[in-house]
Structure 1
């Protein structure tokens, strides 16, 4: 499939993905999904209208998100509108450019022998714990896939502290998404402790399934063992049982190169504009 055709299908995926969770408002050519703060979606330009987005449109989208108590975020394919980054910066947002890759010829990456991988069900009593794992892992951002051996040594661990399902419930949005198959979650467990997490999110795109791999994260002390790479490989294998296109956005160029060695192809750049953090 040609790169333009791939990007068209990915754009279509992003158009359809919010519809089950949010009402889509408009701010000029921007689509602004308004739903639960537990599962927010960024605003995106209407496909084919990226170049029309003005500073007033971005500010209007920001106002809609703020009124709904949602995080301010705008996302688009950089290859379709290079001028939008400047508009977003004028609105006070910080723009990150993330490599966008598709599973072209995936290579199986095995997890360490002592690590077990589980498909998470909606009734799993530790679902809230897995959600907390992802929050903790992303709060300590270091490479989560295929870093050099030993790189995780000396990194302070994060206490997961499993207080039990009655004290650490998952969000109802997550439970419902897992129950309906709109989020397929896997967890890697080492010696009974969940240490890495990841998901893929399938969407029916005009009669064929497309899925995005998201949220692959490993707790700091367990990095450097290839857990993220192995987990991603398993997610792609699962997704490709029903999806004919699987894609992901890598955190940076170095992580993208790791995915390329695992059989992914770098096809575009995904731009994400957010409020600056202080």
Structure 2
């Protein structure tokens, strides 16, 4: 396995390459700002070799994002760009740092009895319902909501997101899994492979379990299955955990802490 600096460089190259099929890249000071479809946005990131990021760079990037109907957002690895947090805060953004983990020895976990796991096809008619599982889970992180508590989003924007997701699944840029119990989706997750100079790297994203079913090992089982699927072809698999408690769950399925990832947006500070 590469050294720690090699792993972080690989992750940085992944994030630089991921938007390229979907967006043009605008350079703003020390930042690269992907400009593409608002239904599948990418955050601005420090540019390799671009020098320190300043608060003026962040302000200019936010202005460009807003003018392009994109959510103002910035993401970086603090170990690689240590001055960016101060620049983001200086520009009025709220900064959150999250554990960054890499799969080193994936552990196969069994799902609870009665739960079956499927790889989602691009033509699956239930795809909007799987997206609603994620929406329910992320909207009620500490509650006891069921999927029926969040109405199915039938807006034009939601249909566009589903269409983009179908396209990504069809071409292999997103691999999505769904856990089903008694015929109903209860957990979802994805990994997103990117080719970097002939080597595949994939990020595990969007692992979500319905709040009423948490504590049964569904999230860990989903992460385990995604890591196993990704490592069949990927040379490296990584993820960002929502907090230290979630990071410990991922450590149980063979991920190890590598560094941190930072995200910044215009949310008011907690």
State the alpha-carbon separation in 2 of the partners of residues 158 and 175 from structure 1: 21
Give the corresponding residue for 1:78.
78
Give the deviation of 1:265 after TM superposition: 1.1
Give the corresponding residue for 2:235.
244
Give the corresponding residue for 1:102.
102
Structure 1 residue corresponding to 2:211, chosen from 220, 225, 229:
220
**Alpha-carbon displacement from aligned partner over 1:51-93 (angstroms, at most 9, x marks no partner):** 5211111011001110111111100001112221111011111
**Alpha-carbon displacement from aligned partner over 1:2-45 (angstroms, at most 9, x marks no partner):** 00000001100000000111111111121100111111100000
Specify the SS of the correspondent of 1:20: coil
Give the corresponding residue for 1:140.
140
Give the corresponding residue for 1:185.
176
Structure 2 counterparts to residues 115-264 of structure 1, below 5 A: 115-142=115-142, 155-159=144-148, 169=159, 171-264=162-255
Q: Residue 125 of structure 1 contacts residue 165 of structure 1 at CA under 8 Å; is this kept in 2?
A: no
Give the deviation of 1:163 after TM superposition: 6.8
Q: Cα–Cα, structure 1 residues 22 and 166, in superposed 2: closer, same or farther, change >3 Å?
A: closer
Q: Does 1:87 align with 2:76?
A: no
Give the deviation of 1:226 after TM superposition: 0.7
Q: Does 1:52 align with 2:43?
A: no
Specify the SS of the correspondent of 1:74: strand
How many residues are treated as equivalent by the alignment? 266
Q: Residue 133 of structure 1 contacts residue 160 of structure 1 at CA under 8 Å; is this kept in 2?
A: no
Give the deviation of 1:137 after TM superposition: 1.2
Gaps of 5+ in 1: 143-151
State the alpha-carbon separation in 1 of the partners of residues 28 and 36 from structure 2: 16
**Alpha-carbon displacement from aligned partner over 1:174-212 (angstroms, at most 9, x marks no partner):** 111011110000000010110111000000011110000
Normalised TM-score (structure 1): 0.90
Q: Cα–Cα, structure 1 residues 261 and 23, in superposed 2: closer, same or farther, change >3 Å?
A: same
Q: Residue 100 of structure 1 contacts residue 267 of structure 1 at CA under 8 Å; is this kept in 2?
A: yes
State the alpha-carbon separation in 2 of the partners of residues 54 and 162 from structure 1: 42
Give the deviation of 1:164 after TM superposition: 11
State the alpha-carbon separation in 2 of the partners of residues 42 and 175 from structure 1: 22
Normalised TM-score (structure 2): 0.93
Q: Cα–Cα, structure 1 residues 251 and 166, in superposed 2: closer, same or farther, change >3 Å?
A: closer
Q: Residue 127 of structure 2 contacts residue 162 of structure 2 at CA under 8 Å; is this kept in 1?
A: no
Gaps of 5+ in 2: none
**Alpha-carbon displacement from aligned partner over 1:209-245 (angstroms, at most 9, x marks no partner):** 0000000001111111110100110001110111010
Q: Residue 129 of structure 1 contacts residue 162 of structure 1 at CA under 8 Å; is this kept in 2?
A: no
Q: Cα–Cα, structure 1 residues 6 and 163, in superposed 2: closer, same or farther, change >3 Å?
A: closer
Give the deviation of 1:161 after TM superposition: 7.2
Moved over 6 A (4+): 161-168
